Amino acid sequence: MSKLKHISIVIILASLGLVMLLDLNKIPNQFEYANSIYHHITNNAVGETGSLNFVTAILYDYRAYDSMGESTIIFGAVSGIVLLLSRKTLPVSSHGLSFIVKRTYGMLTPFIFLFSVYIIAHGHLSPGGGFQGGVILGAISIIFSIVYGSEFDYKRYTPTTKTLLETSGALLFIGIGLIGIIYSGSFLSNLNILNSEPGSLLSAGSIPFINLGIGFKIGAGLAIIFYSMIQKTFKEEASL
Amino acid sequence: MINHIVFIFIFLLGFYAILVKKSLIKMVIGLNIMEGAIFYWFIAITDRGGIIPIVQSTQVAFNLNDPIPQALILTGIVIGASTSAFLLTLIIELNKFTDSTNPDQLGGMIED
């Protein structure tokens, strides 16, 4: 790239930044409204949903339909990646790390799994939820591939199992939405019949179950994405 | 005001990477930097100086931060991760045919 082109790009970007800076004071000040949706949620969310975590209450109750679209986007991304990188045979990408690392990780794996399930199940009580715990769940498969080699990951946690987990998570989400139609007449409405006192584990209606479905879906989806990519790249390195 | 200046600087840094860099992977990194700038800015301008929006019990808590932008940004982060993974997959497939990730050299190679 020539020097002149480079300098002109910097000048254009600097002027763009100046325009953005001059326009930013047109943003309305949201703190001056007395009866905004912020006040509604902070005052009524515990009574309406039973969830102590307001972010989870918004994600899986007020905007649950939007979260379903979001998980559909992840499903589309996973499907596209698997379609592009699919292949029949499995090459041995790596044989794993040393014996000490394998034993240490073997002892740590149940606790990592327990931590991810804790994050998922307490999504309505503490920071966390389906997306955050699902990422930890996906990390287990990624560390399997690195520490034990991808052949171990293929045998112990097969792509069929991953697909089954992802599909069952999505079906659990949609099934709860359909039960909401029968229960109160609207899709994904909160099943208040499951409510107990807010603060206990099985409270907040259908939010913990939606969290469970989202968590397994995200964890299996990330594992599938990583597995497809690592398979392909290691095969290309071996062929060189 | 410092929020806006930092946001604009990081955003333009990502935009600069997309325009100038010669590798498609670096362009994806630039796209992620732009996304991150918008996420941080959106959280920063809606900060009320309170605590996290999680209450201890059913009694009404005061001085909470706004939970709505946090939920929106959580959605945005997940979708950003999905699109990044898909873009990297497309780059892997492209690299198989062309042995290059330079977008300036792609046109001639695909026609061969």
Q: Do A10 and B93 touch (CB under 8 A)?
A: no
**DSSP code of residue B56:** S
Sort out which chain B residues have CB atoms less than 8 A from A14's CB and list them. Answer: 12
Q: How far apart are CA A203 and CA A229, in angstroms?
A: 39
ipTM: 0.81
Residue A169 identity: G
Percent over 90 (pLDDT), chain B: 26
CA dist A119 → A60, A61, A125, A126, A214 (Å): 15, 18, 10, 8, 12
| Confidence (pLDDT) at B84 | 92
For residues A229 and A20, what is the distance between their CA atoms, to the nearest angstrom?
Answer: 38
Nearest to B89 among A31, A131, A229 (CB): A229
- pLDDT number for residue A232: 57
User: With contacts defined as CB-CB under 8 Å, which chain B residues touch A127?
Assistant: 52, 54
User: B48, A31: Cβ pair inside 8 Å?
Assistant: yes
Give the domain extent around A166: 3-239
Domain B2-111 has CATH 1.10.287.3510: yes
- Cβ <8 Å between B78 and A70: yes
pLDDT of res. A198: 74
Instruction: Please provide residue A160's backbone torsions phi and psi, each rounded to the nearest 5 degrees.
Output: -65, -40
Give per-residue pLDDT as tens, B53-82: 888 776 666 778 888 888 899 889 989 989
- Helix, strand or coil, per DSSP, at residue A131: helix
Determine, for residues B58 and A127 on separate chains, whether the beta-carbon distance falls below 8 Å: no
Looking at residue B12, what is its pLDDT? 92
Q: How many domains does chain A have?
A: 1
Which helix (H) or strand (E) segment is A191 a member of? none
Query: For residue A125, what is the nearest residue in chain B, using CA coordinates?
Result: B54
Say if the Cβ atoms of B9 and A236 lie within 8 Å.
no
Q: What is the pLDDT of residue B36?
A: 92
Which segments of chain A have a pLDDT < 70? 1, 87-94, 194, 231-240
**Nearest partner of A215 among A98, A93, A119, A103, judged by Cα:** A119
